[in-house]
A = this chain, B = another copy of it.
Amino acid sequence: MDALSTALFWLDYAAVAVFGATGALAAARRKHDIITFGFFAAITGVGGGTLRDLLIGAPVFWMHRSAPIAICLGAALVVWFTPRRIWPGQALEWFDGIGLAAYSVFGAAKALSFGIPPLPAAIMGVVTACMGGIFRDMLAGVPSIVLRPEIYVTAAALAAGGYVALVSMGLHGGLAMAAGFMGGLILRFAAIRWQLGLPGYRDS
Contacts and interface: CB of A to CB of B under 8 A. Distances in A.
Interface of A: 27-28, 30-37, 39, 42, 50, 54-57, 59-60, 62-66, 69-70, 80, 83-85, 115-120, 123, 134, 138-141, 143-144, 146-147, 149, 153-154, 157, 197-204
Contacts of A37: 201
B83 A154 contact: no
Given A57-B60, A143-B141, A154 B66 contact: no
Contacts of A147: 30, 32, 36, 139-141
Contact of A146 (B36, B115, B134, B201): B36
Contacts of A198: 33-35
The number of times this chain is found in the oligomer is: 3
Contact of A33 (B28, B57, B197): B197
Nearest to A149: B33
A158 to B, nearest CB: 11
Contact of A83 (B28, B54, B85, B204): B204
B203 A39 contact: no
A28 to B, nearest CB: 5
Contact of A55 (B33, B63, B84, B140): B63
A97 B141 CA distance: 26
A54 B56 contact: no
A34 to B, nearest CB: 6
A157 B76 CA distance: 16
